Structure 1
């Protein structure tokens, strides 16, 4: 239950918090963009089975690969892509926490 709450809490509660704290004048629009980071889960459609609760997404799915995480970090360095990079990294953070729960069987 804690794994579920942490994973989806990061996905759905961290974006509005980040938007409100750092992008207050446009917090609602930024929240929507940050929530859109969940769209990288479309790469799960390439896996068989599509969903496996005991599989770590990081390093398994194409948009969750270490190379793509590096790309998301690079996006932070440019003003026009910063929000998108942040959205994708928040998603990766949520999935990484999930992987830690799997790894240590918490």
Structure 2
């Protein structure tokens, strides 16, 4: 299960309101790369794939592909703003190593 804070949900909804397609789906994905082997990708998509799972948290529906789900089960997504700006924060219990940037991790 993936959890999202109210702040993360509010920011996703704010970003979604700016999309040209109000029916677009919020996608959370893991891709190779970044400082520590894998990194988080957040984007809006207009369609789903056969391997996607549609999840819901506190009224927000979002899409995760089955490959990514293995690496982020138990993930908590937060959003915060500070003097350097705003950004999503990830707390992943499957990560054995996290990069200082907060967007990259390793599960090995």
TM norm structure 2: 0.27
**Greater relative contact order: 1 or 2 (C-alpha under 8 angstroms, separation 6 or more)?**
1
TM norm structure 1: 0.28
Structure in which a larger fraction of residues adopt strand: 2
